[in-house]
């Protein structure tokens, strides 16, 4: 009899999630070859992650934001505003470059919906940036120092009535909503119903509905594309998303500078807020694999990199909560896919606190030979092809870099060929060189 989920070990759960991914539940493969390709690609990355069996070859992941559509012929503005162009470009990229995995365009998000919302957290092409530029976050103090108590007290209430009204212009009137708890009784429900009827709140809800409609239409077309691409044998790489609890605050709540000052001014509140965020970050990460059937949870890491804090600060404010999110995801059989932007040379030893064969650590500028040596027996590593060389180098130069990476980081398995970042742009000849060379030279014998 099959074991119940509660009785399974984390290894068994991981196997179960991989089996679900491999089965491709709703996919109707275009051909037996396409099905075989899809399965081979998932098995390849599974072997690289688990560190038990040597994969057939080094898996290839051109992880990207706007690079994929751009190399297929859609500039960033077109990608955000023209779904037909976006999907056509994505398919052209897959056909011409033929990688193992790709990142879904769902993260690009639909420009007209953002316009409808008067979205303020980012600038984007086609609205307040020129067409050729990628979207960029505007750092500010969206959460004030005095909001810590509110957040710790009730994160969702803070999010609904303080954060969203600040980052989304159309939702500004939501700041006047009452606390929702009055709805536990009919008589005390009146405040919510009354405020929902205010003209400005009604207008906010109308705009939210319209943005939702636009986004939904767009997202469905992306989902259709992802289904079709996978039915042809390519694999959409990540099934979920979350972040390190510290980065929630340091990136888009308090902002980099204010967060750094908080480490001195109010360390206890910072720790309390991080503690509050930790289970939420885990649950958010788990939602993706539960819905998508893909166990990989992407986690971009920012403010804990080399130089961005001392070792003591890393040990106090960054690592314990991040480790907890990672471990909870692992216990659920998921595969945290951590992208360590910048350098992680001084943090590598910490990774050995994690169990063997459950994560992917993608590195930007970390010394890969050192990484292999220090954490190679614990975790699959990825990345490190410099985007500077991709953008301005020659195919031969890229081949040299990939050869070195395969020889060192790829030795004995446990490595995924990828650039050192989620690429906004690329150059056709160098990207192709990275992919084609790895297919040839990265075969394990």
Contact set with another protein (CB under 8 A): 123, 129-130, 132-134, 136, 138-139, 256-257, 260-261, 263-265, 307-310, 313, 341-342, 386-389, 391-393, 420-421, 423-425
Nearer to another protein (CB atom), residue 96 or residue 131: 131
Residues 444 and 57: their CA atoms lie apart, in Å, by 5
Task: Detail the DSSP E strand segments found in 84-204.
Answer: 101-102, 122-123, 136-137
**Residue 240: Cβ-neighbour burial (10 angstroms; 0-12, 13-18, 19+):** buried
Nearer to another protein (CB atom), residue 48 or residue 423: 423
- The answer for residues whose C-beta is within 8 angstroms of residue 256's C-beta and 6 or more apart is 139, 250, 303
How many angstroms separate the Cα of 391 from the Cα of each of 115, 133, 187, 284, 431?
A: 31, 15, 64, 34, 9
Minimum CB separation of residue 123 from another protein in Å reads 6
Minimum CB separation of residue 367 from another protein in Å reads 14
Nearer to another protein (CB atom), residue 22 or residue 271: 271
Nearer to another protein (CB atom), residue 207 or residue 389: 389
- The answer for residues whose C-beta is within 8 angstroms of residue 156's C-beta and 6 or more apart is none
Nearer to another protein (CB atom), residue 88 or residue 397: 397
Q: How many residues are listed for the chain in this entry?
A: 445
Nearer to another protein (CB atom), residue 156 or residue 310: 310
Minimum CB separation of residue 193 from another protein in Å reads 42
Minimum CB separation of residue 347 from another protein in Å reads 13
Minimum CB separation of residue 398 from another protein in Å reads 12
Nearer to another protein (CB atom), residue 111 or residue 342: 342
Minimum CB separation of residue 250 from another protein in Å reads 10
Q: Are 33 and 389 in contact (CB under 8 A)?
A: no
107: nearest Cα among 159, 63, 167, 59 = 63
Q: Are 162 and 169 in contact (CB under 8 A)?
A: no
| Residue 317 DSSP class | I
Across-strand partners of 254?
A: none
Q: Are 381 and 375 in contact (CB under 8 A)?
A: yes
Minimum CB separation of residue 441 from another protein in Å reads 22
Nearer to another protein (CB atom), residue 180 or residue 263: 263
Q: Are 284 and 298 in contact (CB under 8 A)?
A: no
Helix (H, G, I), strand (E, B) or coil at 129: strand
Minimum CB separation of residue 205 from another protein in Å reads 31
Structure tokens at 297: 């949870």
């Amino acid at each position: 009899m099959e074991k119940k989920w509660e009785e399974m070990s984390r290894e068994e759960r991981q196997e179960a999630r991989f089996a679900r991914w491999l089965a491709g539940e709703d996919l109707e493969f275009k051909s037996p070859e396409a099905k075989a390709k899809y399965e081979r690609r998932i098995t390849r990355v599974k072997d690289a992650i688990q560190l038990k069996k040597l994969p057939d070859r080094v898996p290839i992941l051109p992880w990207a934001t706007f690079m994929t559509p751009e190399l297929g012929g859609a500039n960033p503005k077109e990608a955000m505003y023209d779904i037909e162009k976006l999907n056509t470009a994505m398919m052209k990229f897959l056909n011409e470059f033929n990688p193992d995995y790709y990142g879904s365009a769902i993260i690009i998000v639909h420009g007209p919906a953002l316009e409808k919302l008067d979205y303020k957290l980012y600038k984007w092409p086609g609205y307040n940036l020129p067409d050729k530029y990628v979207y960029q976050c505007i750092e500010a103090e969206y959460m004030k120092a005095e909001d810590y108590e509110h957040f710790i007290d009730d994160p969702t209430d803070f999010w609904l009535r303080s954060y969203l009204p600040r980052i989304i212009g159309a939702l500004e009137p939501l700041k006047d909503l009452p606390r929702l708890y009055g709805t536990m009784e009919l008589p005390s429900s009146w405040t919510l119903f009354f405020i929902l009827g205010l003209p400005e709140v009604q207008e906010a809800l109308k705009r939210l509905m319209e943005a939702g409609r636009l986004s939904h239409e767009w997202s469905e077309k992306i989902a259709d594309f992802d289904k079709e691409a996978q039915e042809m044998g390519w694999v959409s790489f990540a099934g979920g998303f979350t972040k390190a609890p510290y980065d929630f605050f340091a990136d888009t709540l308090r902002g980099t500078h204010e967060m750094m000052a908080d480490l001195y001014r109010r360390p206890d509140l910072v720790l309390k807020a991080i503690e509050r965020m930790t289970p939420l970050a885990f649950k958010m990460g788990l939602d993706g694999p539960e819905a998508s059937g893909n166990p990989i949870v992407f986690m971009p890491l920012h403010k804990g990199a080399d130089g961005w804090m001392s070792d003591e600060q890393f040990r106090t404010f960054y690592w314990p909560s991040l480790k907890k999110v990672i471990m909870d995801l692992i216990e659920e059989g998921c595969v945290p896919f951590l992208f360590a932007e910048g350098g992680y040379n001084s943090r590598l030893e910490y990774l050995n606190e994690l169990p063997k064969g459950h994560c992917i650590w993608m590195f930007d500028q970390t010394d890969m030979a050192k990484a292999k040596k220090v954490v190679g027996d614990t975790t699959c590593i990825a990345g490190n092809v410099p985007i500077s060389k991709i953008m301005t180098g020659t195919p031969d130069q890229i081949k040299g870099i990939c050869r070195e990476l395969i020889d060192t980081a790829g030795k004995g398995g446990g490595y995924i060929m990828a650039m050192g970042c989620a690429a906004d742009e690329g150059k056709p000849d160098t990207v192709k060189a990275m992919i084609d060379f790895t297919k040839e030279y990265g075969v394990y014998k």
